[in-house]
Structure 1
């Protein structure tokens, strides 16, 4: 990987069953959503409904584990859902899943179909390495509110992803900042799939392989590498 991606010991102690798989991709082709990417989102909603078999998303064992993790660092999971649960709820609703752009559609489809939080970052906008840490409460999180850029600060002890310029995603995988989002100009990306026990590590790796195949299909000349889960205490 061209930069480091680390998980702090504090986070590993808080949630010992955490695993992440990273996909690094360069030479990507992004753009507006297409009929093909839209069809993938529709199919993901069908796969989700089959997986849940009538249950609500928060009743799935993996989502239960994420709710427990959010509670452990002080968040209220029924108000600030992890990204996979939030997408699943939308997928099963009347409006369905949003169409953002091609790359976001691809990773959202995998997130919904597999019930795994998946994030995408513009690698060219990351400053230094990415770190999953418990916040001090003084870090900057630049976001947009009411159409204007504003700076927020995470709560002390909150689990956040950050780089050298500040927080990139609050409450683990709840809200991504606009600075590192995948836009239609993105050519290099980091895609992160995050799982907790009881989901087997092999399922996270299978989901990553499926996403890598989609990236290769829609960006045939891209250079794509899947980085397997790193042992505790080592950089990814």
Structure 2
């Protein structure tokens, strides 16, 4: 099952440099993150905490680039933060990132490493083709944060059943659990990077994901 994804023309017109990576995984096994990798991630997060003692979250390249994208799409980034900014802010406050399961933990790690939002979804709960678009008043869902989210005017991924994801917060409908066997990962790349750098980032994410979860994977970059 190969999903297709397209970027809506309105989004492209307002933000011509936007490009995303899409990775599909099949026959994976989601569980706890291996202890050794958990330890490595912990050291990395501590390094970020130290670095953030000297600088502000909005000084981080990927954060400021994604705030600019939000502004170009008329989304207020101080009110609705790109998800990687929320992670950096948490670390700046000295708060640890909770371990959820191997797929979500890996997402958080790469989100912080490359300073970009990432979404991971249960492919078996996605219906039909996907569009990266701006939400209408009908686009709302229960977020993985437990809140009812109105996605009107926000950047969303939508399938035939409506909005299911966003670089702000994702929905419960398509969230990955320990029962997930097929997954879709959306990598919201920095607009400033070229296709060859994008490819390197996506293959690194994909290889580490399959190293931990097994299974098969395919990727695509969508401009």
Q: When the two structures are superposed, what TM-score results if normalisation uses the length of structure 2? A: 0.87
Identify unmatched segments of 5+ residues in structure 1. Answer: none
Pair 40,126 (structure 1): closer, same or farther in 2 beyond 3 Å? farther
**Correspondences of 1:88-99 after superposition (within 5 Å):** 88-99=88-99
| Preserved contact between residue 21 and residue 188 of structure 2 (Cα < 8 Å) | yes
CA distance in 1, matches of 2:145, 2:100: 20
Structure 2 residue 151 is the aligned partner of structure 1 residue 154: yes
Q: When the two structures are superposed, what TM-score results if normalisation uses the length of structure 1? A: 0.83
Deviations 1:145-173 (A, max 9, x none): 996x85x5422x3321111111112xx41
Offset of 1:34 from its aligned partner? 4.1
Identify unmatched segments of 5+ residues in structure 2. Answer: none
CA distance in 2, matches of 1:79, 1:142: 18
- Structure-1 residue corresponding to 2:72: 72
- Structure-2 residue corresponding to 1:112: 112
- Structure-2 residue corresponding to 1:193: 187
- Would you say how many aligned residue pairs link Structure 1 and Structure 2? 223
Offset of 1:63 from its aligned partner? 1.6
CA distance in 1, matches of 2:22, 2:144: 30
**Correspondences of 1:160-199 after superposition (within 5 Å):** 160-169=156-165, 172-199=166-193
Pair 79,135 (structure 1): closer, same or farther in 2 beyond 3 Å? closer
- When the two chains are superposed, the root-mean-square deviation of aligned CA atoms in Å is 2.6
| Stretch deviating more after TM superposition (121-130 or 31-40) | 31-40
Deviations 1:68-120 (A, max 9, x none): 22123332212321011111222343222121111111121111111121110
Pair 45,131 (structure 1): closer, same or farther in 2 beyond 3 Å? same
Structure 2 residue 8 is the aligned partner of structure 1 residue 38: no
